Structure 1
Amino acid sequence: MEQLEFFEIPSPCIGVCEANAKGYCKGCFRSRDERFNWQTYSDPQKREVIRLCQMRKQRAVLAMLEARKKAEADAD
C-alpha cells in the first residue's frame, strides 16, 4: 500500500544558482537536468533527487575539510 502525500515536496533551491566544476549547483547540488525537470518529477523522483543532493553535499564538505587539512599540514 502506498503512503498518501499531503504536502508538496519543495524544491531544494536556496537561491545560489551557480554551477561548480562538476556541473552541480553550488547551492542545492542538483544537476542541470534535475533543476530544469523538477516540476515534472513525481514525488518519488523528487525524494531521490533530494537524497542524491544530500550525498553530493556531504562529499563536497568532506573534500573541503580534507583540502583544508592538507593546506594546514603543508603550511607547517
Structure 2
Amino acid sequence: MEQIEIFEIPSPCRGICEVNNRGYCKGCFRSREERFHWHALTEQQKRKVIDLCAQRQKRVMAAKKRGGDIQSQSTSQAAEQDDLFKSDT
C-alpha cells in the first residue's frame, strides 16, 4: 500500500548557496541539477535527494573531524558518491 503524502516536502535550502570543490552546495549539499529541478521532482525523488544530502553532509563532517577536507578522500570513495541526476554507467 502506498503512503499518501499530506504535506509537501520543503526544499532543504539554507540560503547559503555556495558550491564546494565537488560541485555540491555548502548549505544543503544538493548538486546543481538537484537544486535547479527541485520543484519538478516527485515526492519520492525529493526524499531520495534529502537522503543523498544527509550522506554527503556526513562525509564532509567526517573529513573535517579527521582534520582533512573532502578533497583528500581517495578517488574510489569519491566516485561512489551518489547523485540523483548522474546515470549509472
| TM-score in terms of structure 2 length | 0.75
Deviations 1:28-55 (A, max 9, x none): 0000000000000000000000000000
Larger radius of gyration: 1
- Distance across 1 between alignment mates of 2:59 and 2:40: 27
Unaligned runs of at least 5 residues, structure 1: 69-76
Quote the residue 1:34 is aligned against. 34
The Cα of 1:15 is off from its aligned counterpart by: 0.3
Q: How many residues align?
A: 68
Unaligned runs of at least 5 residues, structure 2: 69-89
Give structure 1 regions of 4+ aligned residues with deviation exceeding 6 angstroms.
none
Q: Which structure features the higher share of helix residues?
A: 1
The Cα of 1:67 is off from its aligned counterpart by: 1.1
Quote the residue 2:19 is aligned against. 19
Quote the residue 2:63 is aligned against. 63
The Cα of 1:3 is off from its aligned counterpart by: 0.5
Aligned-residue Cα RMSD (Å) equals 0.8
Quote the residue 1:8 is aligned against. 8
- 3-state SS, counterpart of residue 67 of structure 1: coil
| TM-score in terms of structure 1 length | 0.87
Specify which structure has the bigger relative contact order, considering alpha-carbon pairs within 8 angstroms and separated by 6 or more residues. 2
- Distance across 2 between alignment mates of 1:63 and 1:52: 17
The Cα of 1:62 is off from its aligned counterpart by: 0.3
